[in-house]
Structure 1
Amino acid sequence: MNAWLISTLLLFPTALVYPKQSPVLPTLLRKAPTDNPLKHPVDVVVEQAAQHFMAAPQSVGLSIGILKDGQTFVYNYGTVDRDRQQLPTSQTIYPLASITKTFTGALLAQAVVEGKVKLGDDIRMYLAGHYPNLAYQGQPIRLVHLINHRSGLPFLLPDRPEAFVNTSVPSSAIAAELLRDYSQANFYADLHRVTLGNTPGSTFRYSNAGAQLLGYILEKVYDRPFEELVRLKLTQPLAMIDTKITLTATDQHRFVKGYNCDGVQMPDSPDQLQGASALKSTVADMLNYIQWNVAEQADAARLAHQLTWGNENGYSAGLNWQMIQLAGQRVIWQDGNLPGFSSLCVNYPELNMGIVVLSNECDRRTAFRITTLANHIMKTLDERAIKLPN
């Protein structure tokens, strides 16, 4: 789970919509199996970046979806399973990890649009029981704080910071283990024990617990399970039929196996975090999500992209989206990491462009490598594209 970084980046004024047509890459560069046809200029750009990514010995599989000027492109590399060669496809299902939080933010935005809630509501309006601990010097945690990491809630409930002192183990793997047998009742019991150290809204503190709590609150607001809300409000209208938490037996056949840097298959992550990291999806579905975010035609999409803290002319945050705006251009993104999986979703509304990257390998360098890959592709396709910090 990466902390959000404040970064000042250069914006290049000259646009290059597509690179000049390049010859087919030499065979020696085509090391990883792929379905890339190498017929379009975008194909060549992706091939160069993806083969570089796949050259790392720990790489397993990679799926990339690109939106450019209304046209979509899908590319797959490697394998879904180390034990047998099977190329991913546009229908291969990957965990989205923390990209899930952007769906939770979009649900909150939709609830605001529908007049169900307000972003500034005291969260205790939606909690059963007495929670005087969820305010600091009279200032309560508000709904918006739960999805922009300004609530002051801990990284995770159960709050076990001592479990994360082992820096050789990814925090996502530690969190998954802590949540194995953790119920919603356990969550609320631990929520009573939280102590805030600052005024809500004042200080960044990355919190899966905040997004998880927002999911529970939205369930109460609509009187429906979180997964059903995602389907009714987002994935069904956007024709994202493979984006869900609970996989059927048929879905399981399309679900990739995830690996750590040593090639060890990771166990499935628990779904208790739901609104924080439990959604799974495909590249095909995520391209529909990118189109919705890039177009910004829906009130909920526009609200999810509005600044909730930060600098209008630099780094800021929306409803869990990280954002940078420079010289009239914006990049809106979120990444995600779970044991065995890394993901990244990036939107450029002003450039009518976006990219999603899904991988079934995760170590402490995977997120950096995926960001580097996305930056290379996007900057090559359009030099105006703002680079993501990594």
Structure 2
Amino acid sequence: MHFNKTLMALTCVLCWAGPALAQTIENEAALKTAVSQQVSTLMQQQQIPGMAVAVLWQGKTFFYSFGQADVATKKAVTPDTLFELGSISKTFAGVIGAMALERGDIKLTDPVAKHWPALTGKQWQPINMQHLATYTAGGLPLFMPDDVTDKASLLNYYQQWQPEYAPGTQRVYANSSIGLFAHLAVAAGGKGYAEVFRKLTADLQMPSTYLQVPKTAQAQYAWGYKEGKPVRIGTGVLLDEAGGVKASVRDLATWLQANLQPEKVTDPLLRAGIAKTQQRYAKSEQMYQGLGWEMLDYPVSLADLTAMTAPEFVAGTAATVLVPPAPAVANSWVHKTGATGGFGAYAAFIPSRQIGIVLLANQRYPNALRVEVAYKVLENLK
């Protein structure tokens, strides 16, 4: 089954004969042309109803909208359309966890059970907060089982879970890992995740970023599509932390700008938290794990980037936890993919070049294609 999924993903990538690497982008007109060519081809080949794109370049942000947010009503995508971010939500969880580290509410070396004393299983004794943050606890699952619906069943699940690997030796990408890290980090400060999230987005002036879309913003909420049918994400334990954020491309560009230039963030705790997420907390092959964000040394090849999003890499790869964490490196390609049942998202930036890109779509499509479009745009910006 795993082999078949990998083969299907590779086949999808290979069957998309995308546009050749574009000419050098020297001005706004050339950027608009390049983005339009790449995105239009992608949408046609993958049958994506709508996309919103932001490019950060030369100190400005450029927005581009394509297709429909609602196929039935033919409502057009705009820079203010709300998309589900999926695992890009983890970059918010990373910053919130980093703020707890900065305050001293938690330490990376703290045993997980210190912040959840009810977690008495012996398997948890050697697992610390850094393991949770870097997906190296020992093989926690990507998704929570359906019968985990509240704190009691959550505790029962973690108590019964048995690791497949020694802590710190294998990176197995998991919502249940970083989700628990962020949940416990916030609880250690005596607050709830939603409360801290709302303050963070307010401080950064991101008015169209939500965990739950309110009635007043429902008109801006795109429908996602799966096999042609409209879908939206539901709710779930630890989903806010690991995959539940909805936002406009305008707000997500603001998020990218704050991560590109954390020194310009006014609030000192938030400024320190954002900077801390781009430190290097673990390494797996060529990828360094930040808090939420993932980094590769730059310059980087497209092949190396896409390899880090391949199903076999995500499913489990040997890892080394870095103690203490290594400093952030400006010459890095920093990125994160995200998806829900009906949406596909990607965000990437290069601090040393002060450029970045956001791709939001209301249909899921292969990670490799998201990376390819971003790479073809960013690598040609002069």
TM tier, smaller? 0.7 to 0.9
Q: What is the identity, as a one-letter code, of the residue corresponding to 1:109? A: A
Q: 2:236 & 2:220 partners in 1: Cα distance?
A: 18
Shift of 1:334: 0.5
Matched, 1:320 2:292: yes
Q: 1:339 & 1:130 partners in 2: Cα distance?
A: 32
In structure 2, the partner of 1:189 is 156
Shift of 1:225: 1.8
In structure 2, the partner of 1:33 is none
Q: 1:267 & 1:287 partners in 2: Cα distance?
A: 22
Kindly provide the CA deviation profile for residues 49-94 of structure 1, in whole angstroms up to 9, marking residues without a partner as x. Answer: 1111121252110000111121000111010011122211111111
Return the match for 1:128 from 117, 120, 125: 117
Shift of 1:132: 2.9
Matched, 1:107 2:80: no
Alignment of 1:103-182 (within 5 A): 103-135=92-124, 140-156=126-142, 158-159=144-145, 178=146, 182=149
- Are the structure 2 counterparts of residues 82 and 48 from structure 1 closer, same or farther at C-alpha, using a change threshold of 3 Å? same
CA RMSD, aligned part only?
Answer: 2.4
Q: 2:159 & 2:142 partners in 1: Cα distance?
A: 14
Kindly provide the CA deviation profile for residues 255-292 of structure 1, in whole angstroms up to 9, marking residues without a partner as x. Answer: 110112x2122243324311110111111111111111
Q: 2:174 & 2:245 partners in 1: Cα distance?
A: 17
Q: 2:68 & 2:134 partners in 1: Cα distance?
A: 35
Matched, 1:228 2:214: no
Q: 1:69 & 1:17 partners in 2: Cα distance?
A: 18
Return the match for 2:25 from 15, 19, 23: 19
Shift of 1:122: 1.0
Task: Provide the aligned length of Structure 1 versus Structure 2.
Answer: 325
In structure 2, the partner of 1:62 is 51
Q: 1:255 & 1:271 partners in 2: Cα distance?
A: 19
CA contact (8 A) 1:227 1:244 kept: no
In structure 2, the partner of 1:13 is none
Q: 2:231 & 2:65 partners in 1: Cα distance?
A: 21
Shift of 1:116: 1.6
Q: 2:34 & 2:298 partners in 1: Cα distance?
A: 25
Return the match for 2:346 from 326, 329, 344: 344
Shift of 1:337: 1.0
Kindly provide the CA deviation profile for residues 138-169 of structure 1, in whole angstroms up to 9, marking residues without a partner as x. Answer: 6x22112212111124224645xxxxxxxxxx
Shift of 1:188: 1.2
Matched, 1:259 2:225: yes
Matched, 1:329 2:331: yes
Matched, 1:241 2:207: yes
- Are the structure 2 counterparts of residues 216 and 329 from structure 1 closer, same or farther at C-alpha, using a change threshold of 3 Å? closer
CA contact (8 A) 1:243 1:279 kept: yes
Query: Which blocks of at least 5 consecutive residues in structure 2 are unaligned?
Result: 7-21, 264-270, 300-329
In structure 2, the partner of 1:378 is 378
- TM-score between both structures, scaled by the size of structure 1: 0.78
Q: 2:104 & 2:143 partners in 1: Cα distance?
A: 30
In structure 2, the partner of 1:310 is 283
Q: 2:357 & 2:272 partners in 1: Cα distance?
A: 22
Q: 1:359 & 1:311 partners in 2: Cα distance?
A: 28
Q: 2:293 & 2:178 partners in 1: Cα distance?
A: 13
Matched, 1:216 2:183: yes
Q: 2:165 & 2:366 partners in 1: Cα distance?
A: 33
- Are the structure 2 counterparts of residues 346 and 57 from structure 1 closer, same or farther at C-alpha, using a change threshold of 3 Å? closer
Q: What is the identity, as a one-letter code, of the residue corresponding to 1:206? A: Y
- Are the structure 2 counterparts of residues 335 and 197 from structure 1 closer, same or farther at C-alpha, using a change threshold of 3 Å? same
CA contact (8 A) 2:171 2:284 kept: no
SS of the equivalent of 1:323 reads strand
CA contact (8 A) 1:245 1:271 kept: no
Q: 2:166 & 2:114 partners in 1: Cα distance?
A: 18
CA contact (8 A) 2:56 2:355 kept: yes
CA contact (8 A) 1:304 1:319 kept: yes
The structure that is strand-richer by fraction is 2
Matched, 1:285 2:266: no
In structure 2, the partner of 1:27 is none
Query: Which blocks of at least 5 consecutive residues in structure 1 are unaligned?
Result: 4-15, 22-38, 160-177, 383-390
Alignment of 1:357-372 (within 5 A): 357-362=359-364, 365-372=365-372
Q: 2:209 & 2:372 partners in 1: Cα distance?
A: 26
- Are the structure 2 counterparts of residues 354 and 20 from structure 1 closer, same or farther at C-alpha, using a change threshold of 3 Å? closer
- Are the structure 2 counterparts of residues 379 and 129 from structure 1 closer, same or farther at C-alpha, using a change threshold of 3 Å? same
